[in-house]
Amino acid sequence: MFFNSMPDVKSPNQVQIVRVKAGKPLTMYLTGDCLQVMTHWYKGKSFPCLKPELDNCPLCQIGVVQRYYAYYGIRSQDGKPRMLELTSTAEAQLTDCFRNCPIESVMLVTVGREPGKRNNPIHVSGNYKNCSPEELGEAQRVVLDKDLMKRSLIHLWGLPTTNGNITVHEYYLTLEKHIKEVINGNV
């Protein structure tokens, strides 16, 4: 499910995606919401799958496989909010790391891939420490919500934008039209 409410996607406010690169481990604070999306990779770009909101998704119909991605709101060590992109297996490791994590704790995540191939599996490890509400507030100073993540993905993926004055269903119809034009080579 990509949307359950319609954000104003004209807003310039957006954040970048952090992708895990082989041989370059990264450590960051886990601070925000998680957005789980079914996507399609087609003609060198990402698109959201339009099911189940629409009965048919043009990319499913032509046999392009679905790919699951989870986007976690994080704060990188330079203090900037970003979205960490994880596959389902990487997300399962993340969930394991924080299974017993108390609510009032700061979560520090390290992600990496073995050097070599670009698509080597992602390794996730995590640490947490209990803290006071003040410390937690400071650690989570920059929090990403789902709407900001959705808005950012729409910009990063080059999808049609709106000012938020249309319904979710109308936006899906706009996306369907856009994707059909991409398939037909008109975009």
Measured from the CB of residue 121, what is the shortest distance to Zn ion in angstroms? 25
60 counts as binding Zn ion under rule CB under 5 A: yes
Question: Which among 77, 71, 67, 68 has a CA at the least distance from the CA of 27?
Answer: 77
- Across the strands, what pairs with 106? 129
179 counts as binding Zn ion under rule CB under 5 A: no
CB-CB contact of 46 with 157 (8 Å): yes
Give the residue, chosen from 15, 49, 74, 144, that forms a contact with Zn ion under the rule CB under 5 A: 49
Give the residue, chosen from 18, 30, 57, 109, that forms a contact with Zn ion under the rule CB under 5 A: 57
Contacts of 136 (CB under 8 A, 6+ apart): 104, 105, 106
Write the binding mask 137 to 166 for Zn ion: x where contact by CB under 5 A, - elsewhere: ------------------------------
Measured from the CB of residue 158, what is the shortest distance to Zn ion in angstroms? 17
Residue type, 93: Q
Q: Could you tell me the sign of the dihedral formed by the alpha carbons of 119, 125, 131, 135, in that order? A: negative
Q: Which stretch binds Zn ion (CB under 5 A): 8-16, 48-56, 75-83, 118-126?
A: 48-56
